[in-house]
Amino acid sequence: MDHAATTPVDPEVVAAMLPYLNGEASFGNPSSIHRFGREARAALDAAREKVAALLNAEFSEVYFTGSGTEADNLAILGTLRAAPPERNHFVTTAIEHHAVLHCARFLQTQGYTVTIVPVDSQGLVSPDDVARAITDRTALVSVMHASNEIGTIQPIREIARIAHERGALFHTDAVQTAGMLPVDVRALECDLLSLCAHKMYGPKGAGALFIRQGLKVAPILHGGTQEREKRAGTENLPALVGFGRAAELARERRAADATRMEALRDRFIAALRDAAPGVHLNGHPRLRLPNNVNVSVEGVEGPTLLMNLDLRGVAASSGSACSSGSIEPSHVLRAIGLPDDLAASGVRFTLGRGTTGAECAQVAAIFGEIVAHLRR
């Protein structure tokens, strides 16, 4: 029940990767000019075509990275570094992934200015708030397509248009959505978009950044000329071949997967509420990812609930981060205005392609038993 953290690798993806992990195909470096290198380059190009097709992008607009985090870093740091000196302002939101928020913090140490836009109680970003945050110095606005924690889907196209009207570029982190929702870079009107393989039944260690044709983005890794001088380092060919196959499968299956998981999600939310009184759904009730169920539970600590779920064979996630023995409520749950006790009790369940109704019913029953025990 934790598919937002990572998804299992699809057997068809594994089959596509295997030739590049062993045997003749594993000899090839895409930068080499001999036969093995040319074959590796052809495989890399085919993977890029498949990822581009998933996004309705051009082949030349897709740049491979080692992760979604790296794609976010390249989008943000690369765009700000390439911007004119007078464009030294970055706008983002309070509920972004740490890959974005920590970039914002780093930018501040480098002399850039940053504005963090708040969200409402359901995690929605107001386009008007973004408009007010943008100045004549703004180089880039970054708003994630949907929250990885609470699942709220943002009005990306409207915000992108506002950014463009003010002369700013627009980036979205679509790591959680690209394998599940229609993600069309032309329809969304974004300039940059991040995604990765392991959220769509592909391998870990493979990410990508869409960069609109003609946009200037400075590299953040320096070395060879790979990825058209945007990302130095020999490409992880087996993982990227797997990424291509995962993107191909996502394109074929995501509509049916989303419809099935949305119905399953809504039944699961109802079952959790029936199993334990005092369950609060976090995030927007309708504008949310089809597989996301984030709840806070009155009178229960999230980490304790998670540990008990794990002991009963249920893998879920918490909105809390444990560090050095202290428990800090999720920055996302705090940003939507939850009091500390509810923010600290946040638990995220995320369904996957293989999740069944029987499993959801079983988890809801276990959840109810654990909550009742912890409240005694």
Phi and psi at 203, nearest 5°, equal -80, 160
Residue type, 261: M
Helices (H) and strands (E) in the chain, counts: 13, 13
In this structure, the strands spanning 317-318 and 321-323 are: unpaired
DSSP conformation letters of 149-191: TT-BBP-HHHHHHHHHHTT-EEEEE-TTTTTTS---HHHHT-S
C-alpha 339/C-alpha 51 separation (Å) is 41
C-alpha 132/C-alpha 317 separation (Å) is 34
Question: Which residues 6+ apart lie within 8 Å of 329 measured at CB?
Answer: 319, 320, 338, 340, 343, 344, 346
Measured CA to CA in angstroms, residue 224 lies from 66, 206, 216 at distances of 15, 18, 18
Catalytic residue (choose from 190, 196, 322, 360): 322
C-alpha 343/C-alpha 333 separation (Å) is 5
C-alpha 179/C-alpha 58 separation (Å) is 18
Q: Is 190 an active-site residue? A: no
Q: Which tokens go with 41?
A: 């380059």
Distance of CA 197 to the CA centre of its chain: 10
C-alpha 45/C-alpha 201 separation (Å) is 20
Find, among 342, 343, 317, the residue nearest to 330 by Cα.
Answer: 343
Find, among 268, 231, 78, 250, the residue nearest to 175 by Cα.
Answer: 250
Measured CA to CA in angstroms, residue 140 lies from 71, 132, 247 at distances of 15, 14, 27
C-alpha 91/C-alpha 165 separation (Å) is 15
Catalytically active residues are: 322
